[in-house]
Amino acid sequence: MGKKRAPAAKGTTELRYKLTNDILFKMVFVQHPELLRRLVAELLGIPYGNITEFEVTNAEIPPDLLGDKFCRLDVNMKVDGRRVDLEVQVADEHDYAERSLYLWAREYSSALQAGHGYAELPRVVVLSIVDFPMFDAEDFHSEFLPLEAKRGTPLTDRMSLHYFELPKIPEPTSADGELKLWLALFGAKTEEDIMKIQEMDVPVMEQAIGAYRAVSASDEFREMERLRDLARHNEASALANARREATADADAKWQGVVADKDAALADKDAALADKDAAVAEQAAIIAELRAQLGKDK
């Protein structure tokens, strides 16, 4: 299988922004659709020259959505009659399989046009580049299709989910095809990783690295990152304040409960004292009556 990528060694230069940064990823490939077309051809396993229809359908990145924790900067495309969704995911949130299935369902259900039959629904493909292991297998690429459980008979060709696990990519070599080089670029964590790919003199990878460097250094990208960092900071501050307020409210509520309990106990003690006084007074009256009866005898 080859030697897997190791963590960055001492003395290497960590990349400030990796291609798995979703803002950077989307900006690079929206601004360079021919590079996106080359990448998608490799991920789909089809010849680049065979693609006749290629369109990005969600090119915009609305700045006001960058603070939304549910904002996912995927790239939606139409590729020769298919609907294709491409997404990168860095953090293992332990629900990515379910989320990618949701992405497929969302694209598939929205593809049915009014007045059209179900047989006209397009093939929907979800391409996921993930920076963590997902499956107990050595292969870095897995494709899932709906199959009959015992016979393995395909139900339909309308559904396909691909996962490319970056930690399983071997060190790239000049003999590797473009797919491994693309994935090595996504998995690059240091400047030295980038240089290894660049030194292979593969024209499309040199173009991709040039686009990555240009976009990551651009004012537009830096502003997008600033807005996202500000949104995350504000969200964290709001959450911290909410926790403090909740703690203060809980303390005040508990103190109120304790005070109410103390007051109830005090009332109970007072009631007992009144009862004791009444009993003592009654005993005194009885004693006095008995004394009076004794005198009368």
- Where do the domains of the chain lie? 22-217
For residue 157, the 8-state DSSP code is S
Do the Cβ atoms of 161 and 128 come closer than 8 Å? yes
Cα(36)–Cα(195) distance, integer angstroms: 21
List, for residues 51-104, the tens digit of each pLDDT value. Answer: 999 999 998 887 666 655 555 679 999 999 999 999 999 999 999 999 999 999
Q: Which of 9-13, 198-202, 230-234 has the highest mean pLDDT?
A: 198-202
pLDDT value at position 248?
A: 62
pLDDT bucket at 256, cuts 50 / 70 / 90: confident
What is the CB neighbour count within 10 angstroms for residue 224?
20
pLDDT value at position 28?
A: 97
- Mean pLDDT along residues 195-212: 95
Angle at 74 between CA 141 and CA 158, to 5 degrees: 60
- Mean pLDDT along residues 222-244: 72
pLDDT bucket at 17, cuts 50 / 70 / 90: very high
**Which pairs from 55-60 meet CB under 8 Å and 24+ separation?**
56/29, 56/30, 59/30
pLDDT value at position 29?
A: 96
pLDDT bucket at 211, cuts 50 / 70 / 90: very high
Cα(179)–Cα(123) distance, integer angstroms: 22
Report the percentage of the chain scoring pLDDT > 90. Answer: 60
Across 121-171, the runs of DSSP E, i.e. the strands, are 124-130, 141-144, 159-165
Do the Cβ atoms of 82 and 32 come closer than 8 Å? no
Model-wide pTM > 0.85? no
pLDDT value at position 193?
A: 95
pLDDT value at position 1?
A: 43
Residue 5's closest CA among 210, 245, 263, 180?
180
Q: Report whether pLDDT(31) > 80.
A: yes
Helix (H) or strand (E) holding 26: helix 22-31
Report the percentage of the chain scoring pLDDT > 70. Answer: 85
What is the CB neighbour count within 10 angstroms for residue 185?
20
**49 to each of 34, 39, 80, 176, how far by Cα in Å?**
12, 12, 12, 20
Per DSSP bridges, beta strands 54-56 and 75-79 are: antiparallel
pLDDT value at position 263?
A: 79
What six digits make up the tokens of 54? 């290629």
pLDDT bucket at 258, cuts 50 / 70 / 90: confident
List, for residues 145-176, the tens digit of each pLDDT value. Answer: 999 999 999 999 999 999 999 999 988 887 88
pLDDT value at position 180?
A: 95
Q: Which of 135-149, 216-230, 261-275 has the highest mean pLDDT?
A: 135-149
